[in-house]
Structure 1
Amino acid sequence: MSKFVEKLFNLEGRVVAITGGGGHLCGEMARAFGEAGCKVAVLDIRPEKSEAVAAQIRDRGGYAIGLALDATSKSSFETALESINREFGVLDIAVNGAGTNSSTPFFEMDLKEWQAVIDSQITSTFLGCQVFGRQMVEKRSGSIINISSASAGPPLSRAFPYSVAKAGIKNLTQNLGREWAKVGVRVNAIRPGFFPTDWNRKNFITAEREASILGHTPMGRYGEVSELVGAMIWLASDAAGFVTGAEIAVDGGFSAMTI
């Protein structure tokens, strides 16, 4: 059984790029890819964060590099891909997880703040799919995993540009999953429920809001970041060879809850 499972989910030696890799969720994903035997490029606008995660992977005996990436710049993606190809070879897996949020009330939000969230989320995902996806389409194989959200629909309150962007990411995932299916490139999304960061707790989660969140989550708790890893490994592996254009909920039942 163990050999069967190992063969089914084996990612040994595959080359991975993960944007937002210095962050709360994607940092854990990057470390998991390292544990799975992948060669990991950790990409983040904060180079000290990407290098810190890469160092953790190397300290565990893995292969990783930390690279600076402005996820709203196509040229920055292209430069990162050149570095990845030079260091590790052709890309096999890409995770688009960069992005910010805003808790500013709707009538108080200016266009600059709105655009910053949109660009950090959906524009960065578009660019990651375009630059990384082109190399995968040319070699006729690859897995792209985008990060959607419980806010992709129906939208969460107080997260206006974030919800719009996540809905766009879900749509883009379905579009590209359809377009690239016949050339061996799979495009899917993970839909996390509530995995709060310190920023979320400070800016979004009041005691009243927490009660609403947990009351709407059948498991009655927040997720642990390690609980995203299984879905990610599955989507990246050959075990998900017939899965594309899908949005996989990892949310403790949040999206299935009504009354």
Structure 2
Amino acid sequence: MSILERFSLSNRVVVVTGGTGILGKNFVKAIAEAGAKVCIIGRDLAKAQERVKLVEELGSEGLAIAGDVLDEQSMLVACQHIVDKWGTIDALVNAAGGNISGATIGPDQDLFASNIQDTIKAIELNLFGTIIPTHIFGKIIAEKGKGVIINIGSLSSSQAITRVLGYTVAKNGIVGYTKWMATELALRYGDKVRVNAIAPGVFLTEQNRALLTNPDGTFTERAQRFVNGTPYSRLGDPSELEGTLIYLLSDASAFVSGETVYVDGGFNAWTGV
């Protein structure tokens, strides 16, 4: 098999939870361009159907399913729908997640007066929103003896980032879960079942533009701190996640499992000196 063939996802079935999100759109696009059939799962069915149109425009097949990653029954129904349509599942990308405003602790806020229930919700969304789909869709992958699961970590899964307590706890949990599940699946089902994670740096999107930039286009103080801590001296573009995703989903990374790959312009590597 040539190196180009190893990067191909032709005829594979890939499920993307959170495929209706900002980064999820890039994930769906890249997977379709690599030749795979893509199932987009999100709470907004209309937006998921928009993603299907994108997939079809790129010459592949898509399927939109409305589902909640924290609802086990919802995921079971989605899984059966996919198997009924395409017969199997080859890969899962756990892209559902994000921060919850009530779980963010402001710089002037009493550290011990934060809303603990919102913090718990942030942990549940990101951590259990990864574990639940993995245990449902991953069963199909494991029992066929070949496939890939990709989780989404964060810079906060390696270094402390102020204010985002629940998000930080969850993303650290995801890195640990990635290692644990990669080990268990390989020992039980063999060396063709892999689990890895991608830890994105700070990416400027339409969703967070108002938080990271001022009305005149300059960076906010917090965004500038991220830029100053990045050797590339800039924020990322969502398209810069696509290559790493396809590499980890494809046979090109056949001996890679249990790893978290940081796509962050060197932020995680740098001491600041």
Which residue in 1 is equivalent to 2:9?
11
Mapping of residues 163-182 of structure 1, within 5 Å: 163-182=168-187
Matched AA of 1:252:
G
Secondary structure at the residue paired with 2:197? Answer: strand
Report the CA distance between 1:223 and its aligned residue. Answer: 0.9
Distance 2:73 2:155 in 1: 31
Distance 1:223 1:111 in 2: 31
Mapping of residues 132-171 of structure 1, within 5 Å: 132-171=137-176
Which of residues 92, 95, 100 in structure 2 aligns to 1:94? 92
Report the CA distance between 1:5 and its aligned residue. Answer: 3.0
> Aligned pair in 2 of structure 1 residues 108, 201: CA closer, same or farther (>3 Å)?
farther
Contact 1:81 1:132 survives alignment (8 Å): yes
Which residue in 2 is equivalent to 1:213?
226
When structure 1 is superposed on structure 2, of 229-238 and 54-63 the one drifting more is 54-63
User: TM-score normalized by structure 1?
Assistant: 0.94
Mapping of residues 11-30 of structure 1, within 5 Å: 11-30=9-28
Which of residues 116, 122, 131 in structure 2 aligns to 1:117? 122
When structure 1 is superposed on structure 2, of 143-152 and 43-52 the one drifting more is 43-52
Which of residues 78, 81, 84 in structure 1 aligns to 2:79? 81
> Aligned pair in 2 of structure 1 residues 142, 174: CA closer, same or farther (>3 Å)?
same
Matched AA of 2:34:
A
Which of residues 232, 242, 255 in structure 1 aligns to 2:268? 255
- Give the paired residue count: 257
Report the CA distance between 1:59 and its aligned residue. Answer: 2.3
Matched AA of 2:117:
K
User: TM-score normalized by structure 2?
Assistant: 0.89
Distance 2:80 2:243 in 1: 29
Report the CA distance between 1:100 and its aligned residue. Answer: 2.4
Q: Which runs of 5+ in 1 are unaligned?
A: none
Which residue in 1 is equivalent to 2:244?
231
Q: Which runs of 5+ in 2 are unaligned?
A: 106-110, 214-218
Distance 1:194 1:76 in 2: 31
Contact 2:211 2:220 survives alignment (8 Å): no
Report the CA distance between 1:117 and its aligned residue. Answer: 1.1
Distance 2:178 2:169 in 1: 14
Contact 1:15 1:89 survives alignment (8 Å): no
Distance 1:53 1:76 in 2: 20
Distance 1:244 1:57 in 2: 28
Distance 1:144 1:165 in 2: 18
Report the CA distance between 1:110 and its aligned residue. Answer: 2.0
Distance 2:145 2:195 in 1: 13
Report the CA distance between 1:108 and its aligned residue. Answer: 4.6
Report the CA distance between 1:60 and its aligned residue. Answer: 2.6
Cα displacement string for residues 58-95 of structure 1 (whole angstroms, at most 9, x for unaligned residues): 12321001111101011111111111111122100100
Which residue in 1 is equivalent to 2:108?
none
Identity of counterpart residues, as a percentage?
A: 36
Which residue in 2 is equivalent to 1:245?
258
Which of residues 201, 213, 229 in structure 2 aligns to 1:193? 201
Contact 2:22 2:207 survives alignment (8 Å): no
Distance 2:136 2:202 in 1: 30
Secondary structure at the residue paired with 1:191? Answer: strand
Contact 2:212 2:223 survives alignment (8 Å): no
